[in-house]
């Protein structure tokens, strides 16, 4: 086993400092938005940089994360899962235990506080799985802000419990019936709302996507996951993990975990995209895995890898998990992949379902279908590793919202579980 001093040694002479002042992570990122929004982005960036340096703001955020969200979330050793797989020891960072059921609250609360500080009383947000919508609704209820959430009608149907939650929390949910009727279209509509109401409205983007400063800001608010996890591994196990695994839709839970370990070069970072029905079938959301359709492009204000047609039209995506069902990926992931610091793979719908079931049965933890993609990759990887090695999986959310989807999927394959 490696010693603490070895594994905590920071290898880089210079710490990871991204993005640059124009919001570029290497050749990814930037600000590709209608001119109407450019002043708003400048205002947002200035406000955020100020808040970041303001100890009163940071203390208030830390206080709420502790007393309201329930942070720090624990790191759990998945003993039975590890034994069953017979390889590396698997630990879980339990973002599923954060208030409102996923890591999304870390960012929603941070940005809602920022909106309040900027004097914006109306919040718009998009949601895919509904976890960011619920987190936004929660933060807005807590702070007394008006909130409007856009959600594709396909997602409304498959994540119904979260729609009810948002409404109970006092949010207006606008179903979006355009395009693929999923996250991409919800973001389109949220941007249109923001363009129209930009003077009074704050756009609370939920992933490490979008125009600068969002990818930076969302990462910073999610970096609490990585900071906690790093310390918890040192405290509980006495060393850092060998491998981190996180699912990647836009990539906020992954970048939140990775960000604290980027300079620990011995720690392998793996992002898991949604493989859907398989890459060759064309029905997936694996931006990095599809060499034909996954190309450099611009979607929703940022330059990154985008699933698209030959003509640059945004491709329709598929995943069993609404939160990963998106055609682009956060720009910082594109850079981490380009320089080889992180690697990206995918898990199919079927593999995610198997991971969902296995974690439920062996650990008593029902993961979100998004997180089940990360679990699925751990299931593949652990047997290839030795028992003195450690995998840390970001369990980004809990699976209550997915019960309907999972039962339906299992019913179709087993013919005896139709609800």
Catalytic residues: 104, 126, 396
Give the 3-state secondary structure of residue 390: strand
Contact 243, 265 (CB under 8 A): no
Distances (CA, A) of 325 to 95, 165, 178, 222, 317: 20, 21, 15, 20, 6
Separation CA 355–CA 371 (nearest Å): 9
Residue showing tokens 């004097």 = 119
Q: Does 311 bind another protein (CB under 8 A)?
A: yes
Q: Which of 215, 256, 297, 331 binds another protein (CB under 8 A)?
A: 297
Look up residue 63 and give its two tokens.
Answer: 């206080």
Q: Provide the minimum distance between the beta carbon of 301 and another protein in the complex, in angstroms, as a whole number.
A: 8
Q: Provide the minimum distance between the beta carbon of 42 and another protein in the complex, in angstroms, as a whole number.
A: 8
State the Rg of the chain over Cα.
20
Q: Does 33 bind another protein (CB under 8 A)?
A: yes
Look up residue 136 and give its two tokens.
Answer: 């936004």
Binding positions for another protein, 141-180, rule CB under 8 A: 178-179
Of 4-12, 36-44, 153-161, 398-406, the segment contacting another protein by CB under 8 A is: 36-44
Q: Does 34 bind another protein (CB under 8 A)?
A: yes
Q: Does 36 bind another protein (CB under 8 A)?
A: yes
Separation CA 368–CA 16 (nearest Å): 30
Q: Provide the minimum distance between the beta carbon of 198 and another protein in the complex, in angstroms, as a whole number.
A: 6
Look up residue 166 and give its two tokens.
Answer: 């948002």
Give the 3-state secondary structure of residue 238: coil
Of 10-18, 26-34, 156-164, 336-344, the segment contacting another protein by CB under 8 A is: 26-34
Nearer residue to another protein within complex by CB, 156 or 306: 306
Q: Provide the minimum distance between the beta carbon of 28 and another protein in the complex, in angstroms, as a whole number.
A: 11
Q: Does 310 bind another protein (CB under 8 A)?
A: yes
Separation CA 163–CA 150 (nearest Å): 11
Per-residue binding letters, 184-213, with another protein (x by CB under 8 A)? xx--x--xx--xxxxx--------------
Kindly determine how many residues on this chain lie close enough to bind another protein according to the rule CB under 8 A: 41
Nearer residue to another protein within complex by CB, 118 or 298: 298
Q: Provide the minimum distance between the beta carbon of 313 and another protein in the complex, in angstroms, as a whole number.
A: 4
Q: How many C-beta neighbours within 10 Å does residue 413 have?
A: 10
Nearer residue to another protein within complex by CB, 28 or 221: 28
The string over 142-166, giving b where at least 16 C-beta atoms fall within 10 Å of a residue's C-beta and e elsewhere, is bbebebbbbbbebbbebbeebbebb
Separation CA 63–CA 134 (nearest Å): 20
- Give contact residues for another protein (rule: CB under 8 A): 22, 24, 30-40, 42, 178-179, 184-185, 188, 191-192, 195-199, 295-301, 303, 306, 308, 310-314
């Amino acid at each position: 086993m490696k010693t603490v001093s070895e594994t905590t040694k920071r290898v880089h002479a210079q710490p990871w400092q991204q993005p640059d002042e124009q919001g570029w992570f290497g050749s990814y990122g930037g600000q590709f938005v209608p001119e109407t929004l450019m002043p708003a982005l400048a205002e947002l960036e200035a406000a955020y940089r100020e808040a970041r340096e303001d100890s009163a703001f940071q203390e208030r955020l830390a206080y709420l994360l502790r007393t309201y969200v329930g942070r720090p979330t624990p790191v759990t050793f998945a003993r039975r899962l590890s034994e069953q797989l017979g390889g590396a020891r698997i630990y879980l960072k339990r973002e599923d235990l954060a208030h409102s059921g996923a890591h999304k609250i870390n960012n929603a609360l941070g940005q809602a506080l920022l909106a309040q500080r900027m004097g914006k009383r109306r919040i718009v947000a998009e949601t895919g799985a509904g976890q960011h919508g619920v987190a936004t609704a929660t933060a807005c209820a807590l702070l007394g802000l008006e909130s409007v959430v856009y959600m594709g009608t396909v997602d409304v149907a498959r994540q119904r419990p979260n729609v009810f939650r948002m409404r109970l929390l006092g949010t207006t949910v606008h179903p979006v019936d355009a395009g693929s009727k999923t996250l991409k279209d919800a973001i389109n509509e949220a941007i249109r709302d923001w363009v129209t109401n930009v003077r009074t409205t704050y756009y609370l983007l939920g992933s490490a996507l979008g125009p600068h400063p969002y990818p930076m800001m969302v990462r910073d608010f999610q970096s609490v996951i990585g900071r906690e996890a790093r310390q918890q591994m040192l405290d509980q196990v006495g060393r850092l993990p060998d491998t981190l695994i996180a699912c990647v839709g836009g990539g906020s839970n992954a970048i939140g975990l990775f960000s604290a370990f980027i300079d620990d070069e011995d720690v392998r970072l793996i992002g898991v995209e949604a493989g859907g029905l398989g890459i060759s079938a064309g029905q997936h959301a694996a931006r990095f895995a599809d060499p034909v359709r996954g190309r450099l492009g611009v979607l929703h204000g940022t330059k990154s890898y985008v699933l698209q047609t030959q003509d640059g039209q945004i491709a329709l995506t598929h995943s069993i998990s609404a939160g990963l069902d998106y055609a682009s990926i956060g720009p910082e992931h594109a850079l981490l992949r380009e320089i080889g610091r992180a690697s990206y793979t995918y898990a199919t719908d079927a593999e995610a379902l198997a991971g969902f079931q296995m974690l439920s049965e062996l650990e008593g933890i029902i993961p979100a279908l998004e997180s089940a993609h990360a679990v699925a990759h751990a299931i593949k990887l652990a047997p290839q590793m030795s028992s003195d090695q450690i995998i840390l999986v970001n369990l980004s959310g809990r699976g209550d919202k997915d019960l309907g989807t999972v039962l339906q999927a299992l019913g179709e394959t087993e013919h005896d579980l139709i609800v």
